[in-house]
A = this chain, B = another copy of it.
Amino acid sequence: MDLRLKKSHVTFEGKTQFFEHDSQVTKTPMSFSTYTPNGEVKNAIIWLSGLTCNEENFITKAGAQKELSGTSTMIICPDTSPRGLSLIGEHEAYDFGSGAGFYVNATTEGYKDHYRMYDYILEEIVPLLKKQFSVQKISIMGHSMGGHGALILGIKNPNIFSSVSAFSPIVNPSFCPWGVKAFNGYLGEERESWKEYDTCELLKNGFTRKDTLFIDQGNADEFLKEQLLTGNLEATATDSGQSVNIRYQDGHDHSYYFIQTFLKDHLDFHMLSF
């Protein structure tokens, strides 16, 4: 795969970089950022961002570089959707289309040819990490829509991802407004097909990991009750025997200020799994 380096910034003992490449999966150029500490890089964490984000948000705001400098773990932050298309309805709302790929493989007209973010992560980012960055082990994490992406990818692919964590994830998208809108648009009205991209439904259907899912959730998060539905995951995990460690964090909201506060715990969690 031909990677085009767009920007490179020395940061602590390593480099923050921005790349573009031509995706075979989305049939568009795709962008991602990385932080690679100096020295041998052995493992990688994939960060999946939330609605409206692109490859820049996490790498500029979360403070990951300081924590990963001096380690042998890199981080990669893919964009949240294909760009540069003009599909029907693609650019009309913040919660559907561009910036809102929801980490599914779309099956609806127009979208099915490009909006395949599930496969993009699994079939393109994972191989790219192994081949281009010579990475051995890979874990996955994300925020909000990206926390949803990390959970579904992690639960369905326990042999590929060493560990899974999330900040403020959408855990039961089939039953929240963001998820219902996205799944209708990308997958159509037949709800049965939604289940393969819904963390709670996957757990109910026997997809589990032997290790613990690690989740931080602000209890002052403005989206907690209507969109994130964290309580549904607590109940489903208990029923399905999936170990989860959900920490409700007092006073914290949905922002990157919340993420930066607890990021080190997540990075340490993943690095321990390698």
Contact = CB atoms under 8 A, between A and B. Distances in A.
Interface stretch (A117-125, A165-173, A225-233, A254-262): A254-262
Contacts of A252: 10
Q: Which 6 A-B pairs have the closest CB atoms?
A: A9-B257, A11-B257, A10-B251, A63-B63, A12-B261, A16-B257
Contacts of A258: 9-11
A182 to B, nearest CB: 26
A255 B60 CA distance: 10
A253 interface: yes
A217 interface: no
B63 A260 contact: yes
A220 interface: yes
Contact of A66 (B11, B256, B260): B260
Which one of A9, A60, A251, A256 has the greatest number of beta carbons of chain B within 10 Å?
A9
Q: By DSSP majority rule, is chain A's interface helix, strand, loop, or mixed?
A: mixed
A4 interface: no
A65 B260 contact: yes
A247 interface: no
A131 interface: no
Nearest to A66: B63
A158 B163 CA distance: 53
A21 interface: no
A12 B265 CA distance: 12
A17 B218 CA distance: 17
Contact of A60 (B9, B12, B60, B253): B60
Contacts of A61: 60-61
Contacts of A66: 63, 66, 260
Contacts of A9: 253, 255, 257-258
Nearest to A254: B9
A167 to B, nearest CB: 14
Interface in A58-78: 60-61, 63, 65-66
A35 B9 CA distance: 26
Which one of A10, A16, A255 has the greatest number of beta carbons of chain B within 10 Å?
A10
